[in-house]
Amino acid sequence: MLSRALRLSLVLEAALYFAAALFVGAFEPATAGLLALAGVALLRAAATALTFVAARACSGLPPWQTLRLVVGEYAAILANFVVISPFENWWMDADRLQADGASVDTRPPILLVHGYCCSRASWWWLRRRLRGAGWRVATINLEPVFTSIDNYVEPLARRVDEVLAETGSDQLIVIGHSMGGLVARAYLRRFGEAKVARLVTLGTPHQGSRLAVIGFGDNARQMLPDSAWLQSLSGSPTRPDTLVIYSGHDNFVTPQDNLLLPGAHGVAIDGVGHLAMLLSPRVARILLLAIEEDTAVGVTAAGPGG
* The CATH number of the domain covering residues in 91-293: 3.40.50.1820
CB neighbourhood size of 29 (10 A):
10
* pLDDT for position 293: 77
pLDDT classification of 302: cutoffs 50, 70, 90: very low
pLDDT band at 100; cut points 50, 70, 90: low
Other CB atoms within 10 Å distance of the CB of residue 129:
18
Model pLDDT, residue 300:
40
Has residue 244 got a pLDDT over 70? yes
Q: What is the pLDDT of residue 237?
A: 86
Query: At 86, phi and psi to the nearest 5?
Result: -65, -20
pLDDT at 132 over 50: yes
**Cα 65 to chain center, whole Å?**
22
Q: Which residues contact 226 (CB under 8 A, 6 or more apart)?
A: 208
Residue with the bigger pLDDT between 296 and 202: it is 202
pLDDT in tens, 253-269: 999 999 999 999 999 99
Q: Which of 57-66, 119-128, 189-198, 212-221 has the lowest mean pLDDT?
A: 57-66
Residue ranges with strand state E in 9-103: none
pLDDT at 294: 58
Q: Is the pLDDT of residue 177 over 90?
A: yes
Check residue 306 and give its pLDDT. 54
**Cβ neighbourhood burial of 238 (10 Å; 0-12, 13-18, 19+):** middle
Distance (Å, whole) CA 208 – CA 179: 10
Domain residue extents for the chain: 2-88, 91-293
Query: What are the φ/ψ torsions at residue 5 (nearest 5 degrees)?
Result: -65, -40
Residue 1: predicted pLDDT = 81
Return the number of other C-beta atoms located less than 10 Å from residue 206's C-beta: 25
pLDDT tens-digit readout, 61-92: 899 999 999 999 999 999 999 999 999 999 99
pTM: 0.93
Residue 233: is its pLDDT beyond 50? Answer: yes
C-alpha distances in angstroms, 89 versus 1, 2, 78? Answer: 12, 12, 17
